[in-house]
Amino acid sequence: MKALTAMLLASVATVALAVPAYAQENPFDWRSAPDKDGQETMRIGHSVNMEWSSHTAVLKRFAELVQIYTNNAIRAEIFPGSQLGGEREMMQQARQGVLQVTLPATNNAAALSPTLNVFVFPYLATSTAEVNCLQDKLTPVIVDRVIEEAGTRIVGWENSGWRAFYYKSDEPIEEPADIADLKMRVPPNPIMIASYEAWGGNPTPLAWNELYNALQQGVVEGGDNPVTDVIGMKFHEVINRMTKFNYTILTHPIMVSERWFQSLSEEHQEAVLRAGREATDYIRWWQPLDEERWWAEAEEAGVEITEIEDETEWMEKARAIWPDYYDTIGADGEELVNQATQMVEECRAELEG
């Protein structure tokens, strides 16, 4: 027995030596911080079950920063993979204060906070830098509206990357007419459904957790999501093509229960807000690097990748639906979209300058 133990210890030591010091994991992080008297648990729920994605990366960073900035007075516990329910259900839990933090897709969060539909309008912004800039400018304007509508406060943002078409077909999607004969899954959001209809497509609203089986069985033949989701969820096993374009980014606001937030001391409220800002900055650096890895994996998996060189027709058809969907935001929907459009123009000028 002693000999076996010695062999095992030697094997572990050999493996440890084989890993460069800079690549070894930190043995002491926010998850191993000690318990302390009066410590409060901050429960975080989200829908993704991948260990490393932009969703988990931003929430781990946020959790760590909250714990640091409150001197371990608030300790996080993360529940991934829809363990606590779907995204809308977790938003309801946050409204009630049962769940402290959640990370819903903006298009799903809009079901409870219609104001957020402003971020879903197709081709509102056409670059990642513009999206980031718009979030920074518009969020302070709408934060109180979202609190009133959903009982949750936006303290930061995660961007998963531009939604790309993924599908099973002999021919690539390059122009709107190419999706006419494909049954494409869309999230159950009226603006996203209308975008497909404007392109002449056949949109099929379907929940995310039903999608792999639907693709496998031919119930749908494709959809659109960032490459991270497509390859991370192994959709490449049931599709053969992807097409890049820039009609909308998949974004997730870091939403904190307002009931819980108001129960915190002023010092701890500022810690949560600071953690949200810094987690946002962090993921804006992290996500593009991670996305490159996923596109490389898509190619290695044999997925045929197409890039749309001229999106003019896509853009014109999609933007034509805007007036019909101002009311999905509220009575002042047109005014808010115009304000957001002006902000994007300001962002472009700032970025070019």
Q: Residue 25 phi/psi, 5° resolution?
A: -70, 150
Q: Identify whether the C-beta of residue 81 lies closer than 8 Å to the C-beta of residue 88.
A: no
Domain over 164-248+303-352 is classified CATH 3.90.25.10? no
Task: Enter the CATH code of domain 37-161+250-296.
Answer: 3.40.190.170
Question: What is the pTM for the complete model shown?
Answer: 0.89
Q: What is the pLDDT of residue 12?
A: 43
Residue ranges of E strands in the chain: 40-45, 74-79, 101-102, 152-162, 164-167, 183-186, 202-205, 222-225, 241-244, 249-257, 304-307
Would you list the domain boundaries of the chain?
A: 37-161+250-296, 164-248+303-352
Q: Residue 40 pLDDT more than 90?
A: yes
pLDDT single digits (tens) 173-205: 999 999 999 999 999 999 999 999 999 998 999
Is there a contact between 145 and 249 (Cβ–Cβ < 8 Å)?
A: no
Query: Tokens representing 58?
Result: 């931003």
What is the reported pLDDT for 51?
A: 80
Better-scored residue on pLDDT, 219 or 25: 219
Strands 222-225 and 164-167: what pairing? antiparallel
Task: Report residue 315's pLDDT band, with 50, 70 and 90 as the boundaries.
Answer: very high
CA distance 7 to 276: 47
Does 164-248+303-352 match 37-161+250-296 at the fold level?
A: yes
Q: Which amino acid is at 273?
A: L
pLDDT, tens digit (0-9, with 9 covering 90-100), for 230-254 = 998 899 999 999 999 999 999 999 9
